[in-house]
Amino acid sequence: MDRPEIILAPGPTPIPPEVLLAQGSPLVYHRGPGFGDLMREVTSRLRELYRTDTAEIFLLTSSGTGGLESAVQNLLSPGDEVFVPLAGFFSQRWQRLATAYGLTVHASEDPWARVWILRRSANAWRSTRTSRRCC
């Protein structure tokens, strides 16, 4: 194929040549002395990016779905009730994860490609009355 490499999440996003070259470098061993230095540099730069000196930086070495699953697994318990405003692919992923984990899911059905309106979802959330959490 005669096109540059791209990332399709949430892309397309072109990959800079220096990133492609860095992928050919040796990996940093996660139990070696260089890994601690790398983690300190990454968290320091994230604090700079998020303009904070006090926030706890928590890195997940997973896909976005792994982050969603971690949130469901660590913040909720089977049987908890949650509200998920359905307005596209990623909200459906939240719904599937919550259902698979045994949560009681209340959802609003908003058509795709329609402007998501917070007020409409907030009213739908309030109408469930038992949901304490919104995903």
Mean pLDDT of 41-68: 88
Nearest to 81 by CA among 108, 102, 104: 104
**How confident is the model over 103-125, as pLDDT tens digits?**
998 887 766 656 666 666 666 66
pLDDT of 46 over the 80 cut: yes
Which has more confidence, 111 or 94? Answer: 94
What's the pLDDT at 124? 67
In sequence order, what are the beta bridge partners of 13?
7
C-alpha 64/C-alpha 9 separation (Å) is 10
Q: Where are the domains of the chain?
A: 75-134
pLDDT of 97 over the 70 cut: yes
pLDDT of 129 over the 70 cut: no
What's the pLDDT at 49? 92
pLDDT of 4 over the 70 cut: no
C-alpha 30/C-alpha 109 separation (Å) is 43
What's the pLDDT at 83? 85
pLDDT of 100 over the 90 cut: yes
Mean pLDDT of 25-43: 88
Query: Mean pLDDT over all residues of the chain?
Result: 81
